[in-house]
A and B are shown apart, each in its own frame.
Chain A
């Protein structure tokens, strides 16, 4: 047994050292006032890969890493983008169904075996990825090769997958981000380009199992194939597996002919690669997809850009995008729209190079009220990237961030495999990744500004907004260089109002007459000799009062005031009139006179015929849950649309375009809460939206109580 000798010199020395050491640590003086300096930069080693060709042309890539007992394999085919046309969706279905049966195994059997190995297997239309623990990998590889070479696409699985995909497409309309993605692609590439096609329930209905099989057989071919291994596997092991499973593979026999230089595959049709070149971007255009009730607007600026992954300026272009909005928190979009203005949870931009045609997108989700302000700030930030060089500090931060991301990405051995595959697919220089950090280091502010000039299109892009049309669309026209918002549906087609047909024989005139009857009838209307009505609304905390006076046959005065201040005044009598606002008094021009003539009638619907309005009955549409007849009116200087309740006959909405300083906007006025006053029915609630939502409530309505004639004096 040993006892501790407290007086032994060694123990004492230790005790003294310990006593000194611990307080020394606790009291170590660190200068908190500034960030500590970094140590010497660690070397970043970009590892390599092994590669070889199989006799049939397949390229094998092996990235060996024994840190964890895991192996992953990717089988990938280099497939050209092919236009799907009216059967859009067959390529996705092929990817979905790839592991749904082989000539030897059912889907159920494959699923059970993958799960029993504790493995993952995921498929897409250009190949598959599978991984498992090393001990289970040989069995997994057996399944993988069978799926790649002998997929059978059983009919019952095809039917099931198509129904599921149709259901998924239907849910797309619920998700503003998915809508924005699909519509943005349709806008920038056009629907006649494979990148711009949108899969719909209808297009899926046209897909047949034969299309799926023909596509698989045509494009899963060894000469375009890559097999990539990552993880706990050596080159030799990989080579043996590949030779055994893929060495003799030749791909399916394809029956195809060439017509007018285009390949036509039996069972699939013409193989149109790439499609038409996307049209040049128009002048900046605001495109809107209505998603009623949205709590936010999804804003997505987008344009197609000619950026290939191997372009000499691909890297400065990425630095440029990083500074603008590419992932760093210090990016300009994030700092401006989130940290300064608090419009959004996050604002980003993304620049995607592509072998054929790349894209740039930028945007954010913002509350309805600041949608227009956010659009303005994004335009401003895009222009600022072009008009002035970025600061040295911004450039340094972006470069450090990109260098750091590069180093961090190497933590995952899959990164090296991705590098290798990219090098082949995108025809990069063999040392592209090995020289990444060096090349990044040399980029200067001028190269960044040049990239901004080349790849940002602040005046030639689409500004897509998915949101609540009634709340936000009108405020956006001014951001279109053509001063108008263009409406699209969720599939990226121009919006067309859907309606059910009106009953046969019914005319627009009948619909308007039904309204006239519903409010009291022509004789009751004719008995109204004068009328005064006042409505009040609260706008930004202030009360606005609107008062109208009518006196038969043709005198009219409108007065809108906020407190004691008159915002607008209009007087019309006997074919002449003037308006007065804060800027002074102006005589009415011909267009305004025509409008005033209509307004001079307290119930203009009874006079549409004599006003020479052409009326067209559209059909039945639903507004706020009510079925209404939609009637379009063509007048001398324009058009407007009204909606009449099918059940009650009453007018519920008028929608009319108006040119304003903010561009052409749609003024939407809703009428409700009709009440009888002096034998006629008058709407007590009026909601008008012309960029701002105003809800007026009647405060005073008088019929035939006498109106002071001096109100209508024109001198």
Chain B
């Protein structure tokens, strides 16, 4: 909403910390289903007098009509417009008047709304989210305004930022038919075409209790919270069966290579490898491999490419944890005077080594120490815990998997790392982009 997260790139950091949140001490929760199919998770923590109320709808840009790319995110904006009982603009006013904050974000797989409120305002949060689920309403002024706001969001985040278009360019080439091909922010022409009928259909199909997870976390009493949740959400009618995209992206057979020109001074090199879906065994191994490459100053890309060879101003590598097979993206911005080919060779050599050699026990232990700290740190805020709980339920099939995710990482072996490197981090399974300054474009 205010800082809607339609970007997949920013999502990665969010999602790795958020889903990767098992802990030394597990997060305690209780959960239940309402008869209308709404899954509810409660987490009690009285250390600060605040409460987080959040709803994760299992709908993202991959569920869109290919002629309405960007609709899921646009829709997220519209769902702040009001409801049968909440006038235009009042949604945020109720929350802020109560001393709370609210926001939402959308990605390829889900749309997530939350409020963090003083704990005596729990009921307000439940009322707002149940109004949004039961009978959201948007008028014409709202639709037209948000259409322009989303266009400004696209300009601000992607078009007017150096290297801002990288992810869009990568996705477009990494997928041939799967809807991950288009960015969550969508396209202006599709947003222009979106109509009242689209709005109604999308709401009825996806914004139903049986397609949502409600999390209430913080300074609450589970018994009372359960009563209130039932009172506010129990009467919302169950929706029909939620359709899921059945498009399966065929495996890549050959490297895709391209050049993109942008308003930049220093070239960048991007290598995107297809990887397995989030939650699979190999996903965790690939994610560890990315940490080996770029987590911390002693990581391999940082030591070799940035430090020793001084070819990059910045270099990094991260995985996109998608519900369907995603991507691992290695990205470097060249130092002054370094040609993109030279940067690519240096990055490629580092990645090649992960295929050719098994990593040492010491290096594996380092990765495990890093991931352990990350898990503990990731659970320091209620807002993060609420999102992790909702994600585990939505994408890992069971809330308790949040608490064994650290084990998934810690059980990755040195041999696993080499195996996934050989399987996924190979030239025939990747897109390579050279991002070059506009001035180098030959007409």
- Interface of A with B (CB < 8 Å)? 25-28, 30, 32-44, 67-70, 107-108, 111-112, 114-120, 131-133, 136, 160, 163-164, 166-168, 170-171, 173-176, 291, 293-296, 298, 328-330, 334-335, 338-340, 342-346, 365-367, 396-397, 400-401, 403-405, 407-408, 410-412, 625
Cβ-neighbour of B145 out of A43, A107, A114, A342 (below 8 A)? A342
Query: In the complex the two chains form, is A42's CB within 8 Å of B94's CB?
Result: no
- The 5 listed contacts between A and B (C-beta, < 8 Å) are A69-B376, A112-B366, A116-B365, A136-B373, A334-B2
B117 → chain A, closest Cβ, in Å? 8
B-side contacts of A30, CB under 8 Å: 127, 231-232
CA distance A78 to B17 in the complex (A): 34
The answer to whether the Cβ of B266 comes within 8 Å of any Cβ in the partner chain is yes
From known contacts A112-B298, A170-B336, A329-B96, infer whether A342 and B144 are also in contact, taking CB-CB under 8 Å.
Answer: yes
CA distance A25 to B92 in the complex (A): 29
231-250 of chain B: CB within 8 A of chain A: 231-232, 234-235
Closest residue of chain B to A231 (Cβ to Cβ) is: B380
From known contacts A38-B124, A166-B336, A175-B162, infer whether A114 and B298 are also in contact, taking CB-CB under 8 Å.
Answer: yes
A684 → chain B, closest Cβ, in Å? 21
Closest residue of chain B to A32 (Cβ to Cβ) is: B85
The answer to whether the Cβ of B177 comes within 8 Å of any Cβ in the partner chain is no
B-side contacts of A293, CB under 8 Å: 263, 438
Cβ-neighbour of A411 out of B3, B48, B146 (below 8 A)? B48
199-247 of chain B: CB within 8 A of chain A: 219, 227, 230-232, 234-235
Query: In the complex the two chains form, is B96's CB within 8 Å of A330's CB?
Result: yes
B70 → chain A, closest Cβ, in Å? 14
CA distance A68 to B263 in the complex (A): 45
CA distance A37 to B122 in the complex (A): 10
CA distance A18 to B441 in the complex (A): 74
Cβ-neighbour of A400 out of B96, B306, B438 (below 8 A)? B96
Query: In the complex the two chains form, is B379's CB within 8 Å of A68's CB?
Result: yes
Q: Which 7 residue pairs across A and B have the least CB separation, nearest first? A: A404-B99, A118-B369, A42-B49, A174-B162, A342-B148, A111-B297, A39-B120
CA distance A160 to B313 in the complex (A): 10
Cβ-neighbour of B35 out of A26, A119, A365 (below 8 A)? A26
CA distance A167 to B306 in the complex (A): 12
B-side contacts of A342, CB under 8 Å: 144-149, 152
Query: In the complex the two chains form, is B373's CB within 8 Å of A132's CB?
Result: yes
A-side contacts of B66, CB under 8 Å: none
Contact flags (1/0) for B263-291 with A, using CB distance below 8 Å? 11110000000000000000000000000
Query: In the complex the two chains form, is A36's CB within 8 Å of B266's CB?
Result: no
Count of residues in B whose CB is under 8 Å from the partner chain:
96
A34 → chain B, closest Cβ, in Å? 7
B250 → chain A, closest Cβ, in Å? 35
Cβ-neighbour of B118 out of A131, A160, A407 (below 8 A)? A407
The answer to whether the Cβ of B310 comes within 8 Å of any Cβ in the partner chain is yes
Query: In the complex the two chains form, is A167's CB within 8 Å of B149's CB?
Result: no
B-side contacts of A343, CB under 8 Å: 148, 152
A672 → chain B, closest Cβ, in Å? 15
Summed over the interface, the residue pairs from A and B with CB atoms below 8 Å come to a total of 238
341-400 of chain B: CB within 8 A of chain A: 362, 365-366, 368-374, 376-377, 379-382
From known contacts A32-B131, A168-B313, infer whether A70 and B298 are also in contact, taking CB-CB under 8 Å.
Answer: no
Closest residue of chain B to A410 (Cβ to Cβ) is: B48
CA distance A344 to B381 in the complex (A): 30
CA distance A127 to B50 in the complex (A): 33
- Interface of B with A (CB < 8 Å)? 1-3, 24, 35, 47-50, 84-85, 89, 92-94, 96-102, 116-124, 126-127, 130-131, 134, 144-149, 151-153, 155-157, 159-163, 219, 227, 230-232, 234-235, 263-266, 295-299, 303, 306-307, 310, 313, 333-336, 362, 365-366, 368-374, 376-377, 379-382, 438, 443
Cβ-neighbour of A115 out of B3, B264, B366 (below 8 A)? B366
A-side contacts of B381, CB under 8 Å: 411-412
Query: In the complex the two chains form, is B336's CB within 8 Å of A163's CB?
Result: yes
Closest residue of chain B to A168 (Cβ to Cβ) is: B313
From known contacts A329-B96, A330-B96, A342-B144, infer whether A367 and B152 are also in contact, taking CB-CB under 8 Å.
Answer: yes
Closest residue of chain B to A328 (Cβ to Cβ) is: B96
Closest residue of chain A to B153 (Cβ to Cβ) is: A345
Query: In the complex the two chains form, is A25's CB within 8 Å of B49's CB?
Result: no
B-side contacts of A410, CB under 8 Å: 48
Query: In the complex the two chains form, is A174's CB within 8 Å of B264's CB?
Result: yes
A-side contacts of B116, CB under 8 Å: 408
Cβ-neighbour of A408 out of B2, B101, B162 (below 8 A)? B101
A-side contacts of B3, CB under 8 Å: 346
A-side contacts of B148, CB under 8 Å: 342-343
Query: In the complex the two chains form, is A397's CB within 8 Å of B93's CB?
Result: yes
Query: In the complex the two chains form, is A133's CB within 8 Å of B120's CB?
Result: no
CA distance A293 to B253 in the complex (A): 37
CA distance A42 to B161 in the complex (A): 43
B83 → chain A, closest Cβ, in Å? 9
Query: In the complex the two chains form, is B97's CB within 8 Å of A396's CB?
Result: yes
CA distance A521 to B119 in the complex (A): 85
Query: In the complex the two chains form, is A35's CB within 8 Å of B100's CB?
Result: no
A-side contacts of B333, CB under 8 Å: 167, 171
From known contacts A111-B296, A344-B152, A407-B48, infer whether A400 and B160 are also in contact, taking CB-CB under 8 Å.
Answer: no
Query: In the complex the two chains form, is B297's CB within 8 Å of A115's CB?
Result: yes
Cβ-neighbour of B263 out of A41, A163, A174 (below 8 A)? A174
From known contacts A116-B362, A397-B93, infer whether A136 and B369 are also in contact, taking CB-CB under 8 Å.
Answer: yes
CA distance A411 to B50 in the complex (A): 9
CA distance A174 to B162 in the complex (A): 6
CA distance A164 to B334 in the complex (A): 10
CA distance A259 to B266 in the complex (A): 44
Cβ-neighbour of B380 out of A27, A70, A119, A164 (below 8 A)? A70
